[in-house]
């Protein structure tokens, strides 16, 4: 485990946000290998979870809103879909923050999977209401699996910044 870093907004919000946007763009490249396309994990979910675990903040929901709108524009979906799904995930993680405190990595990974499932189910329901038809469950399951595999990135952020603010120790 490394030493905690200072909790400056550009460091714990700005840099990871740019990293997530770049990863989203890279995975959005229409490249097919043996007829298979790269998975479309929800990289922003790692931030919605990690920021809620690290500490309550006024800036994090606005950054999540921005990331959600970026995803909507990038993927060409209904404007506000991913923004509201990510904000729901952030809210669920923030509400369960006290129960997650002091838990080991496996339990936090399970919490991350629960938060991810909540956001994806919300997205599924919103798309179903918007299009008046049911989206595919198999692509949803693949997106869920691809997203929960990203948990180590969220854990890395938590390890870096969890103890940086002495007010929340």
Q: How many folded domains does the chain comprise? A: 1
Mean of pLDDT values over 85-114: 93
Q: Is residue 4 part of a domain?
A: no
- Average pLDDT of the chain to the nearest whole number: 87
Q: Is residue 1 part of a domain?
A: no
Question: Each residue of 25-70: pLDDT tens digit?
Answer: 998 888 777 776 667 889 999 999 999 998 878 899 999 999 999 9
Q: Is residue 41 part of a domain?
A: yes
Q: Is residue 2 part of a domain?
A: no
Q: Does the structure show a pLDDT above 60 at 119?
A: yes
The CATH number linked to 104 is 1.10.1760
Q: Is residue 3 part of a domain?
A: no
Q: Is residue 161 part of a domain?
A: yes
Q: Is residue 16 part of a domain?
A: yes
pLDDT attached to residue 168: 45
pLDDT attached to residue 159: 87
* CA-based nearest residue to 46, from 27, 30, 67: 67
By residue range, what is the domain housing residue 115? 9-168
Q: What is the pTM of this model?
A: 0.87
């Amino acid at each position: 485990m490394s030493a905690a870093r200072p909790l400056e907004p550009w460091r714990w919000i700005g840099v990871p946000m740019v990293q997530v946007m770049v990863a989203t763009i890279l995975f959005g490249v229409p490249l097919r290998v043996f007829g298979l396309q790269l998975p479309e994990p929800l990289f922003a979910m790692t931030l919605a979870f990690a920021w809620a675990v690290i500490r309550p903040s006024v800036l994090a929901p606005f950054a999540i809103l921005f990331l959600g709108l970026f995803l909507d524009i990038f993927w060409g979906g209904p404007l506000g879909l991913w923004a509201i799904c990510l904000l729901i995930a952030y809210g669920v993680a923030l509400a369960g923050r006290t129960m997650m405190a002091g838990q080991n990595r496996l339990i936090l990974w399970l919490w991350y999977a629960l938060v991810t499932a909540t956001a994806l189910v919300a997205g599924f329901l919103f798309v179903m209401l918007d299009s008046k038809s049911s989206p595919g469950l198999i692509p949803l399951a693949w997106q869920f699996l691809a997203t929960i595999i990203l948990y180590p990135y969220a854990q890395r952020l938590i390890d870096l910044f969890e103890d940086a603010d002495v007010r929340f120790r």
